[in-house]
Amino acid sequence: MNIQPIHNDADLDRAFSRIEELWAVEDGTQQADELEVLSILVEKYEDEHYPVGPCD
């Protein structure tokens, strides 16, 4: 597992690519842990850089 912070959109694209590779992994594996951590990092980055405003 080689997880790094997401600092920019290029990092975000790499994270999405890796998430796609890991999407169907079995729960309880190291790859599942990597998928979970990457998902958290993507969510944090998107919340900071692409916030969704309140509904009308």
Task: Tell me the domain boundaries of the chain.
Answer: 9-48
- pTM, two decimals, is 0.88
H or E stretch at 15: helix 9-22
Q: What is the mean pLDDT of the chain?
A: 95
Tokens found for residue 27: 């729960």
Backbone angles phi, psi at 16, to 5 degrees: -60, -40
What pLDDT shows up at residue 6?
98
pLDDT digits over 18-33, tens only?
999 999 999 999 999 9
> What is residue 28's predicted lDDT score, i.e. its pLDDT?
96
Within a 10 A sphere around the Cβ of 38, how many other Cβ atoms? Answer: 20
Residue 42 CA to residue 19 CA, distance in Å, equals: 10
Q: Which residues contact residue 26 at a Cβ distance below 8 angstroms, ignoring those fewer than 6 apart?
A: 32
If pLDDT is split at 50, 70 and 90, which confidence band does 53 have? confident
pLDDT of residue 14: 97
